[in-house]
Structure 1
């Protein structure tokens, strides 16, 4: 069976050598919290196509990008080559398969931390740790009607679970919540692929033809707009 993140790799955001307003706010908070990537060894867990990996590489001594998706890492390596970034290595694998230690362990928007064993492993990998994940369920005016119709997987968001773990173990940290509002515009084929992927990863039972027919009715001037609202928790420790 194809890795579900491999399916997403072609449409996943890529490194562009510039930061969005949200990303600027994110790195500003890290800087104000004492995080300095300069001349450091870094591991980026669940790095995907390397949007953050390759930005950090501009400052770090070295960075290892780890992901379970080979195709995501192929794109990361290709992009690194295009921008002449040479201090990046990649590894196909899971959090628990990382054996090295680093100055900074970095994890953003990844499902890699699932339980207390994962939390402890993540903390052990770096002297400084940076974590960002959902503070609340992301809202999409396009996807919510489909989730309501076909059901979705319900699970406690990992940011809350990890933060509770830190509190229970009396581990000090700095935190903030970052908000992002954006609009995505795609043609029918790209929207169809995106909706199917989200239904699949949320373990919904759905009919592809029914989804396609509903999406056809949303096309305006050749495109479908999706309005997204996200709330992310950042932890630095």
Structure 2
């Protein structure tokens, strides 16, 4: 298990520099997702929030702009470094971070709301039940519903003889809630992420995604392949189709 945790940390540290980060605008993907929660009746204003698997803080900083306080946890110190840098830039002073795997996290604190977005840290009975240990009212969980398809990675996987894993943590969470007789509302969301990167950033993403499979990387293929996604301005664009479930539980 310790070996698995180390591999997870290495994987997410490897993604940190090319991972999406907080953007201060009100019409992007993160803002739209939080608006879905608000329409359901969730009010982030003045709340004490725990963000599990917070990553670079795309949601964490946005939540802190409304909440009384936010605590973000993540296994990747490099992700948290980016979060703290961006929080400082945005003059956020009510946000703390803890470097930890969720399964190892312990605190005497309780929270009005626990927020989890696309995190593999919540994946079994123990880590799911633990969410309810620390929340007094709300749980917001976002996970994939079977689809995360990258136009860049599709051919990379095929070339390396890899079958892409299914991403179903949203549906898995729904099944667990039903089995454990916990009430929830689920909102299906689908769309396309568009991510612009420089050449090395695109290559790093390809290498990182392949690193979770036991294959020998064909570096020359990767470097040649990403040229198919080069724009006239020299940037590179990846498009990722997704289906997500936003699951909201009120305790």
Instruction: Determine the C-alpha separation between the residues in 2 that align with 1:84 and 1:156.
Output: 35
Alignment CA distance shift 1:15-1:185 (3 Å): closer
Residue 230 of structure 1 is matched in structure 2 by 242
Contact preservation (8 Å) 1:37, 1:56: yes
Residue 39 of structure 1 is matched in structure 2 by 46
Equivalences for residues 122-141 of structure 1 within 5 A? 122-127=131-136, 128-141=138-151
* Mean CA deviation greater in 133-142 or 66-75: 133-142
Contact preservation (8 Å) 1:152, 1:204: no
* Mean CA deviation greater in 190-199 or 204-213: 204-213
* Mean CA deviation greater in 169-178 or 210-219: 210-219
Instruction: Determine the C-alpha separation between the residues in 2 that align with 1:13 and 1:217.
Output: 22
RMSD: 2.0
The unaligned stretches of length 5 or more in structure 2 are 1-5
Residue 142 of structure 1 is matched in structure 2 by 152
Instruction: Determine the C-alpha separation between the residues in 2 that align with 1:156 and 1:17.
Output: 28
Instruction: Determine the C-alpha separation between the residues in 2 that align with 1:33 and 1:144.
Output: 36
Residue 35 of structure 2 is matched in structure 1 by 28
The unaligned stretches of length 5 or more in structure 1 are none
Moved beyond 6 Å, runs of 4+: none
Q: Residue by residue, what CA displacement relative to the aligned partner does 1:25-69 show, whole Å, maximum 9, x if unpaired? A: 312221122211111111001101111011111111111010000
Alignment CA distance shift 1:218-1:162 (3 Å): closer
Residue 3 of structure 1 is matched in structure 2 by 10
Instruction: Determine the C-alpha separation between the residues in 2 that align with 1:154 and 1:16.
Output: 29
Residue 101 of structure 1 is matched in structure 2 by 110
**Quick one: which of 62, 65, 69 aligns to 1:58?**
65
Residue 88 of structure 1 is matched in structure 2 by 95
Instruction: Determine the C-alpha separation between the residues in 1 that align with 2:235 and 2:115.
Output: 36
Once the two structures are TM-superposed, the CA of residue 204 in structure 1 deviates from its matched residue by 4.4
Q: TM-score, normalised to structure 2's length?
A: 0.86
Contact preservation (8 Å) 1:153, 1:202: no
**Quick one: which of 138, 160, 169 aligns to 1:158?**
169
Q: TM-score, normalised to structure 1's length?
A: 0.91
Once the two structures are TM-superposed, the CA of residue 13 in structure 1 deviates from its matched residue by 1.8
Instruction: Determine the C-alpha separation between the residues in 2 that align with 1:84 and 1:129.
Output: 27
Count of residue pairs the alignment pairs up: 237
Q: Residue by residue, what CA displacement relative to the aligned partner does 1:196-231 show, whole Å, maximum 9, x if unpaired? A: 111113554422233223334554533433222111
Q: Residue by residue, what CA displacement relative to the aligned partner does 1:186-205 show, whole Å, maximum 9, x if unpaired? A: 33222111111111135544
Instruction: Determine the C-alpha separation between the residues in 1 that align with 2:202 and 2:227.
Output: 10
Instruction: Determine the C-alpha separation between the residues in 2 that align with 1:114 and 1:163.
Output: 12
Alignment CA distance shift 1:203-1:129 (3 Å): farther
Instruction: Determine the C-alpha separation between the residues in 1 that align with 2:236 and 2:166.
Output: 29
